[in-house]
């Protein structure tokens, strides 16, 4: 496998995960989790979303969370915004980067943000102007990049068209999202090879959901294409309220463990990340999908059953 020496992980659990929890996560607990992720050395964190409180009430405390977190040098703190008003709020709150999103399929874009793709592009154009004035980086995410729960597979030509329209308004960082876990590694590889050849110089990110247990295989396919930026979610939290059947994002600690086992550096302290995941489970009050919290790292060893040690070759028995 052609693997990079280092990849950059962006943690999205406190936004993508907490936004759909049935019970409101208290502000101080959100701040606690962001700080735990910072302490683990996570280089990028999508902390919250500056969206209207009536639309996403779970994140109505966005300003308070941003004001309360402890900033670690070396970590970039971002927020998702839906429009220029949200962008202004995010800038005023001191974000290091703004993330935006639209869909590759018209039906999902209408369900998700109640706009056509063309209308979303105009909204994002205004966001880009706000970010440019504030000298804040922007990452543009494309939901349903590989498949739509309403329309089925999204043709590469349609995805390319959306990317081109984003590039035309100034996008230099593009995230491809497998919103409902419909993608497979061959499809991911084909799409990235096609797009990366046509849009050289962009920063590409893959945002995967593990709905069908394909998230890490899809990430490995993207890595072989040269992608080195990936979103993940602590404990596997997450989902999309406007994408039927969507489950959580790829689990952060599972992904970091996998990459570390293959010798790919992330700069993240896995033990601290696992501890953060256990704390998140306590906060949400239920077990989460992550596997490493349950099984331990691949280096974990167990005591031998009674009587076995004495029968091993070379013990003199």
pLDDT of residue 265: 98
- What does the alpha-carbon distance between residue 238 and residue 19 come to, in Å, rounded to a whole number? 8
* Angle ∠(12,13,19) on CA atoms, nearest 5: 105
Average pLDDT over residues 245-256: 87
Average pLDDT over residues 126-146: 97
Spatial CA neighbour of 145 closest among 185, 175, 186: 175
Q: For this structure, is 240 an active site residue?
A: yes
Position 170 confidence tier, pLDDT thresholds 50, 70, 90: very high
pLDDT of 317 higher than 70: no
Residues 102/139/76/291 CA torsion (nearest 10 deg):
50
Give whole-number Cα distances, 191 to 2, 69, 218, 246, in Å. 18, 37, 11, 21
> Using an 8 Å Cβ cutoff, are 194 and 156 in contact?
yes
pLDDT of 273 higher than 80: yes
pLDDT of 243 higher than 70: no
Position 274 confidence tier, pLDDT thresholds 50, 70, 90: very high
- What does the alpha-carbon distance between residue 90 and residue 78 come to, in Å, rounded to a whole number? 8
Domains of the chain are: 8-311 (3.20.20.70)
Average pLDDT over residues 57-84: 97
Handedness of CA 10, 270, 75, 288 (dihedral sign): positive
pLDDT of 244 higher than 70: no
Q: Among residues 140, 148, 240, 251, which one is catalytic?
A: 240
Percent of the chain, pLDDT > 90?
89
Burial of residue 141, with CB atoms counted within 10 A of its CB: 0-12 exposed, 13-18 middle, 19 or more buried:
buried
pLDDT of 5 higher than 80: yes
pLDDT of residue 155: 96
pLDDT of residue 240: 64
Position 171 confidence tier, pLDDT thresholds 50, 70, 90: very high
Position 246 confidence tier, pLDDT thresholds 50, 70, 90: low
pLDDT of residue 245: 59
pLDDT of 241 higher than 80: no
pLDDT of residue 242: 57
Percent of the chain, pLDDT > 70?
96
pLDDT of 50 higher than 60: yes
Position 310 confidence tier, pLDDT thresholds 50, 70, 90: confident
pLDDT of 125 higher than 60: yes
Span 278-308, pLDDT tens digits: 999 999 999 999 999 999 999 999 999 988 9
Average pLDDT, the chain: 95
DSSP codes, 257-314: HHHHHTT-B----HHHHHHHHHHHHHHHTS--S-SHHHH--TT---PPPTTTGGGSTT
The residues that bridge with 139 in the sheet, in sequence order, are 99
pLDDT of residue 143: 96
Q: What is the phi/psi pair of residue 196, to 5°?
A: -65, -30
pLDDT of residue 307: 86
């Amino acid at each position: 496998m052609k693997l990079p020496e280092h990849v950059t992980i962006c943690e999205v659990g406190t936004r993508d995960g907490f936004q759909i929890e049935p019970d409101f996560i208290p502000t101080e607990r959100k701040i606690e989790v962001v700080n735990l992720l910072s302490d683990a050395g996570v280089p990028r964190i999508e902390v919250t979303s500056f969206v209207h409180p009536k639309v996403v009430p779970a994140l109505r405390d966005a300003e308070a969370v941003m004001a309360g977190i402890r900033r670690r040098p070396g970590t970039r703190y971002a927020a998702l915004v839906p429009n220029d008003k949200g962008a202004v709020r995010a800038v005023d709150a001191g974000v290091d980067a703004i993330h935006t999103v639209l869909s590759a399929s018209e039906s999902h874009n209408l369900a998700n943000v109640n706009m056509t793709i063309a209308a979303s592009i105009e909204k994002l154009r205004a966001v880009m102007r706000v970010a440019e004035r504030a000298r804040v980086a922007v990452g543009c995410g494309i939901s349903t990049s590989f498949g739509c729960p309403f329309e089925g597979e999204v043709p590469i030509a349609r995805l390319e068209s959306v990317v081109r329209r984003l590039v035309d308004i100034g996008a230099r960082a593009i995230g491809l999202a497998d919103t409902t876990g419909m993608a497979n590694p061959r499809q991911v590889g084909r799409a990235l090879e096609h797009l990366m050849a046509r849009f050289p110089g962009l920063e590409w990110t893959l945002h995967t959901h593990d709905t069908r247990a394909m998230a890490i295989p899809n990430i490995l396919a993207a890595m072989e294409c040269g992608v080195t930026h990936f979103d993940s979610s602590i404990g596997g939290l997450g989902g999309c309220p406007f994408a039927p059947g969507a489950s959580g994002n790829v689990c952060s600690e599972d992904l970091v463990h996998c990459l570390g086992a293959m010798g790919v550096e992330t700069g993240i302290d896995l033990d601290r990340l696992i501890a953060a995941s256990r704390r998140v489970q306590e906060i949400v009050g239920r077990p989460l999908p992550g596997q490493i919290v349950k099984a331990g790292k691949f280096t974990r060893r167990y005591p031998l059953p009674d009587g076995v040690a004495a029968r091993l070759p070379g013990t003199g028995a």
